[in-house]
Chain A
Amino acid sequence: MVCEMETDQIEEMDVEVLSSMWPEDVGTEADKQFNVEKPAGDLDTLKEVTIEEKPTIADLTRLPDLLNSTHQGTSQLTNLVKQWEYMQDNAVRLLREELKNLNRQREEAEAKELKIIEDYKFESNEPENVPVLDETSDLFRKFRQKKRDALIDSKKIEIDEEFDTVAYWKQKALSLEKMLEASTERERRLVEKLHESLKTMESHAAPVQELTQNLKRAEGFLHFILQNAPIVMGHQDKDLRYLFIYNKYPSLREQDILGKTDVEIFHGGGVKESEDFKREVLEKGKASKREITFTTDLFGSKTFLIYVEPVYNKAGEKIGINYMGMEVTDQVVKREKMAKLREDNAVRKAMESELNKTIHITEETMRAKQMLATMSHEIRSPLSGVVGMAEILSTTKLDKEQRQLLNVMISSGDLVLQLINDILDLSKVESGVMKLEATKFRPREVVKHVLQTAAASLKKSLTLEGNITDDVPIEVVGDVLRIRQILTNLISNAIKFTHDGHVGIKLQVISEPSFARDNALNADAEVDNGLTETSVWIRCDVYDTGIGIPENALPCLFKKYMQASADHARKYGGTGLGLAICKQLVELMGGQLTVTSRVNEGSTFTFILPYKVATSDDYSDDQDEFSDMTDHQSEPDDTTEGYFQFKPLLGSIYSNGGPAISNGFLPHKVMLTTSPIKLINGFVADPSNNTGQSEIVQVENGGYVDETKLETSSGHCPESAHQYENGNGRCFSKESESCSSSQASSEGGTLEMESELTVSSQREEEKAETNLKETSKPKILLVEDNKINIMVAKSMMKQLGHTMDIANNGVEAINAINRSSYDLVLMDVCMPVLDGLKATRLIRSYEESGNWNAAIEAGVDKDILENEQVCVRSTNRLPIIAMTANTLAESSEECYANGMDSFISKPVTLQKLRECLQQYLH
């Protein structure tokens, strides 16, 4: 039993020793083991794992080889090992700490036990049976001794019987049995503990397995990544033959790839490039990236970002390359799109800034133009005040010098006004405000009158001639005012630059020019106004024998504020706006203005314009709108005459177009003899002052009078001079407005436009005609509701030598017309009760039907009308002139549409009234 006990104790001791020593031993053992054994075992594991568990298309069997043979493989393994070592170290450290703890606890427990044993002061009879372990501490021995003592001691207490008796032995056996039981129990526990320790030891004792697990995890992770990564990876040897490839989207089987080069596998664009790139990397030994676009039959056109790095073996020799590719086709496309967008953006930005600049410039220009127009307008008002004042001043008593100065002032003011009007005209055309009116006119008369007017202010010995071919229609439709403006401008230009020779206008019909066919739309724009006449193109040449224009000056000729040269500008003056306006007007009317010129031989300005051919069925309408330039001696031969000439004759007198002579002052011819008395601007000039200016004599009508005529009318001279001396100053001021236009009223009160041409043979007939007209005084009806306007108009009529009846509204007007016959009606448009437009319509309907039914329907008092129905009226159309506050083209069209013959824009001026009367009263 003792033996048993001893062994028992020894076992126990051993176990304890072992368990206390184990961690240190294991730790060192493990370390050694890992360092030595790991690589081989590791690789094996890897191999097993890859092959057994996850077969992929990757050539995993080759991976160990790779790992074996390359630096990278080795280093990776080393990494893994190091990691493992670190983990083990950590575990060892933890275990040691635990051991320390346990030791301490045990020591404490032992100390306690010792104390307890000492307390009980037992003595040991038992032979000490302590296994002599080599150098185990005395403490242990002592402890065991004491422990045993304690045990025995306790047993000792239990045995009461006498030594060596049966009872003693029995008792002893019993106690021993108990002890045995306890010992067995302890042993069992120890065995359990041992098993436990063994288990832990087992788990710690397999670093290979742990490494394997780690590797498995790493592999799993890599695999996971790889499976989802859209990349191709590969390893190629020195000859660029694939040894390994991983492809997420395999289109080829492994056996088709491994052992082959790129070139052998694919065909198409990019393959060669990638091959070369790989080779380059291999040669240079430097990893690099490149984007390569492949165009192969296999997968179409795709772009790959390829990363290639060289692989070295342990000896530092290149053994191949690692290659990684990622498809970036979409990205490339996007990037290209982005680049394109950016480019577009840049272009757009550039364009935008360019446009902004243009807009800015345009705005500036517009503003400048607007400002010019506004300024011109603003200047015009005060200037007209200045000129008006000067004209008033000229009616006061002045001495000769003052008068001359004043005349210069007035003519300068007129010039500035003209310039401002030009500028306003130009800005009107440019801003598209200017509207063209389509009216019937006679080109021959226009030409004649333009020449006539020019001749009136002619101060040089030039021949002015007009030549119109027979095929030019008698009447055409166009904007006569503008055409006249162009002609006048060109003629005055021609005269200005011509010192001798002749200046002329030639009209001829031509076929449709090519430019018009090109922009037929423009021409069509002219075809409105309800006129369906055929169109005719008329070419108008204004030629002169002047100084001509040098060729290099031609391009800027039509530019604003430009003259052919600065010298000319100084010498001849002018604003330089005339030609620009002409050109714009011509173009506005759908035509073309050109010029040909030879220095010192002359220039020809040619403009081609389309006109409608007017049908001349309604004769009463014919004289619309051109009245101010036709001279109303509408003899049949005049309408078709194709040639006019205004010759300069020495000693003849040209009108300077200055302030004209008032009514009652001069008869309808110029009455100056060759006597020394001459009128300059309405006052008697010093006959001895025989300069160019003093030769300029007031000629009524702006006409041209030849010598014979002067002689025949010489008798009037004293009278005129006398009249002037009476100092009828008012009359001059009244007439001062009509500077350049040519008219005067005849003595008899009948207004007549006098135009004296060279055709002196007609003179007598005219006279007779005039006398005839004088016998019947025209009856004029003014329909107007505004008292002031009535007063003013009446006063004007008085000045013009007429009286007139007044009607305050449309109804009164109809009644008045019904009662007596009138030669002319001036009709306000806007009136109470019955406005002018309606009244005119009713009057026209009366003229057509001969009864006032329409008027009665409209509510005009029918008794009066019916009673007066007996009054037989001539079937002639009654000229009705509208007086309107709106001068816009729409309004004038409205007037015409309602049967009015013409219109005067309000407020009425003497000038307008006079022109109107001249046109409609014969």
Chain B
Amino acid sequence: MLGLGVDRLQADINRLLASLFHQGVLDEHFLQLQQLQDETSPNFVYDVINIYFDESEKLLRNLRLLLVDREFSDYKKIGLHLNQLVGSSSSIGARRVRNVCVAFRSASELSNRPGCMRGLEVVEHEYHYLKNMMHELFQLEQQRLLAAGVRYPV
């Protein structure tokens, strides 16, 4: 924490982002999000992503509850939840989550319960992966900011 690792941290961040892009976990909308961040809202990305995680967590919980229920038949509700999830995922550029959600949604449109269960699992997996990655990213970002903030008297 001597403020000497700024470049390295930035490189790490860039590398991480590049790999996430390469894997298709993120897409250009995440860049958009970053571009929307400026001095007036310095934590914009962090805030949005956090809200996204909160919301998605709720949605996923609901989806799981709906699907676990044996007498469940409300595929429309699942569809609505998924629409939400697709919308917000595509807004933040969480491409892979969005894609698996779309697949999940088509399974729900066909009232395909096993498909839905599988879909939910895949979505949860992708979601957690994204969350981990984002966590890492924000940590790196934080470290970078800290490092960048270090000033030495000349």
Contact surface of A with B, Cβ cutoff 8 Å: 381-382, 384-386, 388-389, 391-393, 396, 730-731, 733-734, 736-737, 785-789, 791-792, 795-796, 798-799, 830, 832, 885, 906-910
Contacts and interface: CB of A to CB of B under 8 A. Distances in A.
A785 to B, nearest CB: 7
B111 interface: no
Contacts of A791: 47-48, 51
Given A389-B14, A788-B92, 9 more contacts: A384-B21, A384-B27, A385-B17, A386-B18, A388-B31, A733-B35, A734-B36, A792-B32, A798-B40
B87 A795 contact: no
Interface string B28-72: 110111111111110010011001100100000000000000000
Contacts of A785: 84
7 contacts: A385-B18, A386-B18, A731-B38, A733-B35, A788-B87, A791-B48, A907-B93
B36 A910 contact: yes
A383 to B, nearest CB: 10
Nearest to A793: B91
A253 B62 CA distance: 107
Nearest to A831: B83
Contacts of B18: 385-386, 389
Contacts of A795: 36-37, 41, 44, 48
Contacts of B34: 392, 733
A744 to B, nearest CB: 16
A388 B37 CA distance: 16
Interface of B: 10, 14, 17-18, 21-22, 24, 27-29, 31-41, 44, 47-48, 51-52, 55, 80, 83-84, 86-88, 90-93
B27 A381 contact: yes
Contacts of A788: 48, 51-52, 55, 87-88, 91-92
Main SS at interface, chain A: helix
Contact of B36 (A787, A792, A907): A792
A326 B51 CA distance: 101
B40 A388 contact: no
B24 A381 contact: yes
A910 B32 contact: yes
A911 B87 CA distance: 18
Contacts of B44: 795
A799 B90 CA distance: 20
Contact of A389 (B17, B36, B86): B17
Given A381-B24, A730-B38, A734-B35, A909 B51 contact: no
A514 to B, nearest CB: 47
A885 B87 CA distance: 8
The listed residue with most B CB atoms (<10 A of its CB), out of A392, A734, A907, is A907
B91 A792 contact: yes
B91 to A, nearest CB: 5
Nearest to B32: A909
Nearest to B80: A832
Nearest to B88: A788
A799 B33 CA distance: 12
Nearest to A732: B35
Contacts of B24: 381
A150 B114 CA distance: 126
Contact of B88 (A392, A789, A832): A789
A799 B36 contact: yes
Contacts of B29: 907, 909
A234 to B, nearest CB: 84
A397 to B, nearest CB: 10
Nearest to B41: A795
The listed residue with most A CB atoms (<10 A of its CB), out of B35, B55, B86, is B35
A788 B34 CA distance: 14
Contacts of B31: 388, 391-392
A396 B21 contact: no
A543 to B, nearest CB: 38
Contacts of B36: 734, 792, 795-796, 798-799, 910
B35 A786 contact: no
Contacts of A384: 21, 27-28
Contacts of A737: 32, 35
Contact of B86 (A393, A730, A885): A885
Nearest to A730: B38
Given A907-B93, A909-B29, A393 B14 contact: yes
Nearest to B24: A381
Contacts of B86: 885
Contact of A830 (B83, B88, B92): B83
A801 B21 CA distance: 30
Given A786-B91, A885-B90, A792 B33 contact: yes
Nearest to B92: A788
A389 to B, nearest CB: 6
Nearest to A734: B35
A385 B21 contact: yes
A371 B46 CA distance: 38
B138 to A, nearest CB: 16
Nearest to A828: B87
Contacts of B28: 384, 388, 909
